[in-house]
Structure 1
Amino acid sequence: MNYRTTCPHCASVFRLGTDQLDAAQGWVQCSVCGTAFDARLSLLMEDGSPLPQPEPEPVEPPAQPETQPPAEQEATTADTRDTADEAPPVAPSPEEEDIAAADVPRGIVQRETSFDLDSIILIDPDIPAPDDPGPLPQIHTVPSYPPEPATPLRRATVAEAAPAARIEYASPMPGKARIPSSPRRISPWMWGTASLLLLVVLLAQTTYFLRDTLVSRLPQTRPAVEQACAALGCTLSLPKNLALLQIVGSDLQTEASGRLKLTLTLGNRANHVQGWPVLVLTLTDQHNRPLARRSFAPSEYLGDAQRIAAGIPARSEQPLSLPLTVHDLTPMGFNLQLTY
């Protein structure tokens, strides 16, 4: 006869026969999780129905003793006492000892051999079983002390009633285990070299984009910057420092045709060549209020591209003349400023 049992640890359902139960005294080992358990606690029929209840054996009523006179009863009782005192104790037979030892259930801790013995039956989980595993076994736990307060019962959901899913882990690939290597530390001299390279790149970018300001502040660097610009294909303007430029003299004259003529002398006090500035002329009235203002670029008051590109020579004074045409204005004064 075949039965059905359930593993209490992983809830896997297996099929086993009567000979297997008798051989291992009801103890089996789950082939899924390896748990050894007593299959008789969750034993069901092969179709999932509970085991049939054994029929009670007829009990014969005890024989009624025959009524004896009081004198005979006292004599019989005395004889029985004397016989019990004289009879030696009878030792149990080996068969009775084996039956008594078989009636005592043995747990995993009481076994003297390991689970690898033939008495532990490994059940194959690949054996096809019916779709309906039958009612799940109920495991009764020992109540704790002190008892916990009673909680209202609630209906179990489908997710709680379902058995836990079996998780299978992939076996590791054969071969040597790879030990993760510790991160390598970068030596200080490599950090120093990288920092120095970054500083050089930063200085090169600053020099390239601020080359005109650098040459104006540090004229001695102009030859090196000019060579770098020749290699990179960039242009370099002349130094521009208004503090080293000075208007030595200026005059606004009125000609016979009504036109105006501005004459001035521009001096360069620097020891190097500087770029030509922009002239800002403001015409004023007799109360020194501005009437008109006009800015003149170097191309307007010089007109010579080569002279503009050459700049103002170092430590020199350059006379300039600029004719002006004014309509509907009678200026009584002027103001002249330099800018870049």
Structure 2
Amino acid sequence: MTWITRCPVCAVTYRVVPDQLKVAQGWLRCGQCQEVFDSKGLVVDWPLESHKTEPIAEPEVPADRLDIDDFLKQEDKSALQTPVSAFEEALSTFKPLPLMPTTTAAAPEVFGVPLGALIAHDQVPEDQAPALPPSAPPWWPKVLVLSLVLMLALQWMVAGRYLLVAAEPALAQPLQIFCRLMGCEMEPPPVRNGVVIESSSMTPQEGGLLLLWSVRNVTTQALEMPALELTWLDAQDKSLVRRVLRPTEQAAPSALAAGQIWSGQLQLLPAEGLQPLGYRLVSFYP
């Protein structure tokens, strides 16, 4: 028995055999338009038995004497769908569809210029991308560093205030004001060679020796009273005895004002058998 069917796309009719439809579960591919379609509802019996030897699924030109629309059933849309596995098995019996030639659509243009050219022009390589403006560095590290430097400078000024005055006597008064603000004491500084011995003498008196001397502050600021070193000498100017006289032993003030002269005296009793013939007196800061 031979059946006929028609492609629902290009309306070409074909003769098919039941075995082919059974294997493909009703799925066929049109030899004219290459459309794969389900032949259920599109197959009718072909009365001529002599056409069984005809090629399977070959396209045939429709004849005027055959009005296929009169006895073909329309496709039943409500029919149950073929299982997916059966559909894939049926498709495997057909040749793959040839790729249809496609035409490339013309690229859109913007004011007569291809859009692709504009996009390519706007795309800038990463190595040529404009650099972002550098962000402003935070301000607090600078403030912290300046604060630390200022604190170290103030601490150094407090600890080395006497050295500053010794190097630059004009800084004495500003440093005194600074010390009052910082809660420290600024005593008159010791300045080397700032207090000199103006005169001195040593004379015998009442079984001993009387030492007289005067010192003067030659600077323009108040200075600490220095200590005195007294050395007794023999006839060959060799040292016999050396003694240090601190300001408390001299009954002297702790400081001398700028240009001030102070005189002192001290009664000395040499040891028994010691007869000094000379002396040497110098001022110094211990």
TM-score (norm 2): 0.48
From the CA coordinates, give the structure whose radius of gyration is larger.
2
TM-score (norm 1): 0.41
